[in-house]
Amino acid sequence: MGHEKSWEKRVRDWEENTERLLEKKPERKERFETLSGIPVKRLYTKEDLPAAAAEELPGEYPYTRGIHPTMYRGKLWTMRQYAGFGSASETNRRFRYLLEQGQTGLSVAFDLPTQIGYDSDDPMSVGEVGKVGVAIDSLEDMEKLFDGIPLDKVSTSMTINAPASVLLAMYVAVGEKQGVKSEQLRGTIQNDILKEYIARGTYIFPPKPSMRLITDIFAWCAKHVPKWNTISISGYHIREAGSTAVQEVAFTLADGIAYVQAAIDAGLDVDQFAPRLSFFFNAHNHFFEEIAKFRAARRLWARIMKERFGASNERSLQLRFHTQTGGSTLTAQQPDNNIVRVTLQALAAVLGGTQSLHTNSRDEALALPTEESARIALRTQQIIAFESGVADTVDPLGGSWYIESLTDEIEREAMKYIEQIDAMGGAVSAVEQGFMQREIHRVALETQRKIESGEEIVVGVNQFRLDHEPQPELMRVDPEIARQQIEALQALRNKRDGAAVQETLSRLKRAAEGTDNLMPYILDAVRAYATVGEICHTLRSVFGEYKPV
Partner 1 sequence: MNRPIRVLIAKPGLDGHDRGALIIAQSLRDEGMEVIYTGLRQSPAQIVATAVQEDVDVIGLSCLSGAHNELFPEVVRLLEEQGAGDILVVGGGVIPQEDIPFLKEKGILAVFTPGTSTREVAEFIRKAVAERKA
Binding site for partner 1 (CB under 8 A): 112-113, 115-116, 118, 123-128, 131-132, 196, 200-202, 240-242, 328, 331-333, 365-368, 441, 444-445, 448, 452, 458, 461, 469, 471, 474, 477, 479, 548
DSSP-based three-state secondary structure for 517: coil
Q: Are 145 and 134 contacting, i.e. CB atoms less than 8 angstroms apart?
A: yes
Does the N-terminal peptide bond of residue 62 adopt cis geometry, omega within 30 degrees of 0? Answer: yes
- Judged by beta carbon, residue 102 or residue 479, the one nearer partner 1 is 479
Q: Which amino acid is at 184?
A: Q
Provide the minimum distance between the beta carbon of 413 and partner 1 in the complex, in angstroms, as a whole number. 22
Q: Are 390 and 349 contacting, i.e. CB atoms less than 8 angstroms apart?
A: no
Provide the minimum distance between the beta carbon of 51 and partner 1 in the complex, in angstroms, as a whole number. 40
C-alpha R_g of the chain: 24
Contacts of 229 (CB under 8 A, 6+ apart): 187, 188, 189, 276, 277, 278, 320
CA distances from 8 to 42, 47, 51 (A): 17, 10, 18
CA distances from 140 to 160, 492, 533, 547 (A): 18, 8, 14, 32
User: HEC states along 279-324?
Assistant: EEEEECCCHHHHHHHHHHHHHHHHHHHHHHCCCCCHHHHCCCEEEE
Q: What is the largest CA-CA distance in the chain?
A: 96
Q: Where are the alpha helices (DSSP H) in 44-199?
A: 88-100, 112-115, 139-145, 164-178, 194-195
Q: Are 151 and 187 contacting, i.e. CB atoms less than 8 angstroms apart?
A: no
Nearest to 294, CA basis, from 317, 322, 263: 322
- Judged by beta carbon, residue 43 or residue 126, the one nearer partner 1 is 126
The partner residues of 108 in beta bridges, in order of sequence, read 83, 158
Helix (H) or strand (E) holding 234: strand 231-234
Rounded-to-integer distance, Cα 38 and Cα 32, Å: 9
Q: Are 352 and 403 contacting, i.e. CB atoms less than 8 angstroms apart?
A: no
Q: How many whole angstroms from its chain centre is CA 99?
A: 21
Query: What angle do helix axes 519-527 and 532-543 make, rounded to 10 degrees?
Result: 150
Contacts of 261 (CB under 8 A, 6+ apart): 426
Rounded-to-integer distance, Cα 523 and Cα 175, Å: 12
Counting beta carbons within 10 angstroms of the beta carbon of residue 46, is it exposed (0 to 12), middle (13 to 18) or buried (19 or more)? Answer: exposed
Q: Are 74 and 355 contacting, i.e. CB atoms less than 8 angstroms apart?
A: no
